[in-house]
Amino acid sequence: MSKPALVFDPVTAIGFIGQTVLVELRWDDDNEMLWRCYHVVGVVLPVPGVFEEGYFLTMPFDGSEDLPVEVYFDSINTLRVVRDRHATGKVLDRLPLPPLFQGHAKEGECSHA
């Protein structure tokens, strides 16, 4: 049974602007969780009867996008502000990696993430 999505009131959502966050994403039709690190650069608040879905405008921490990416409130399972620049690596080191990334280097080979 999946945990309900987080609910963001306007003051809380706006308070994340300018923060670096570690986000656990999930979708109703997928049991797999996805962890991502973003810089929150904006927020679009839901307006009942006009626009029902709120979301954060984010820039991926790794700089992989030139324009902000939408992270909808209803897909966020967990959201944590990163205060220590090494915290993201500490948390991600504890997460189980998919088999695709768990290869072992053979003797004489280098293994890079």
Q: Under 8 Å CB-to-CB from 14, ≥6 apart: which residues?
A: 43
Reduced to 3 states (helix: H, G, I; strand: E, B; else coil), residue 43 is: strand
Q: What angle do CA 89, 21, 14 make, to 5 degrees?
A: 170
Mean pLDDT of the chain: 79
Domains of the chain by start residue, with CATH:
10-86 (2.30.30)
Alpha-carbon gap, residue 32 to 109, rounded angstroms: 32
| CA nearest to 62, candidates 1, 3, 7, 113 | 113
Confidence of residue 67 (pLDDT cuts 50, 70, 90): very high
Would you state the pLDDT for residue 112?
Answer: 47
Two tokens, residue 111 = 């293994």
Residue 52 has pLDDT above 60, yes or no: yes
Alpha-carbon gap, residue 48 to 46, rounded angstroms: 6
Would you state the pLDDT for residue 97?
Answer: 47
Residue 8 has pLDDT above 70, yes or no: yes
Tracing tokens 């990696």 back to the chain, one arrives at 97
